[in-house]
Amino acid sequence: MIINSWTTRPETAEDVEVIRDVNLAAFPAPHEADLIEALRADPQAWLPGLSWLAESPGGDLAGYALLTRCHVGDSPALALGPCAVRPEYQRRGAGSAAIQAALHAAREQGENLVVVLGHAEYYPRFGFTPASGFGIHPSFDVEDKYMMALALVPERPLPSGVIRYAAAFGV
């Protein structure tokens, strides 16, 4: 899928190292790069086809977005993150392209509810709103606006309750 000149595609086995590299470049510590590898090793968390890359016209891996299995109460949902863009490509749409492509793929796979913990000024552009509005809450203390949720198919009923992240998140 091409979104604003970024080519998006799901990861393949050859992308594992470059995904680590993008996350090491985007974040100040290796936590997110290590988290992705722990999630990839957990068959209960990792869902094929929901780890997405945005490539520049020259073929550089610029942006990355990941959706993994979590639960809200006992119902399956998806957690968005880590999302990462190489510093030299930030604020040029690569992050948005990777996130939109990952969300589109999730909808195609029959998923509905997505939660994200992150920048309150960034994720609303994809339709995320505070999770508390759906009766969805994290198991830890965080300011309300940072914990957001999105229904990919708004007509479908949503579960409410506490978010249970995959074990690799350590929360």
Ligand X SMILES: CC(C)(COP(=O)(O)OP(=O)(O)OC[C@H]1O[C@@H](n2cnc3c(N)ncnc32)[C@H](O)[C@@H]1OP(=O)(O)O)[C@@H](O)C(=O)NCCC(=O)NCCS
Q: Which stretches of the chain bind ligand X, using CB under 6 A? A: 26-27, 63, 83-85, 90-96, 118-119, 121-122
Q: 69 Cβ partners below 8 Å, 6+ apart?
A: 44, 45, 46, 47, 76, 77, 78, 79, 166
Of the candidates 89, 91, 143, 151, which has an alpha carbon nearest to the alpha carbon of residue 126?
151
Q: Given the complex with ligand X, which of 68 and 155 has the nearer CB atom?
A: 68
User: Closest distance between ligand X and the C-beta of residue 171, in Å?
Assistant: 15
User: Closest distance between ligand X and the C-beta of residue 37, in Å?
Assistant: 17
Q: Given the complex with ligand X, which of 47 and 99 has the nearer CB atom?
A: 99
User: Closest distance between ligand X and the C-beta of residue 18, in Å?
Assistant: 15
Q: Which residue is nearest to ligand X (CB)?
A: 95
Q: Taking the CB of residue 89, how many other CB atoms lie within 10 A of it?
A: 20
3: Cα within 13 Å, side-chain hemisphere: 20
Q: Given the complex with ligand X, which of 56 and 90 has the nearer CB atom?
A: 90
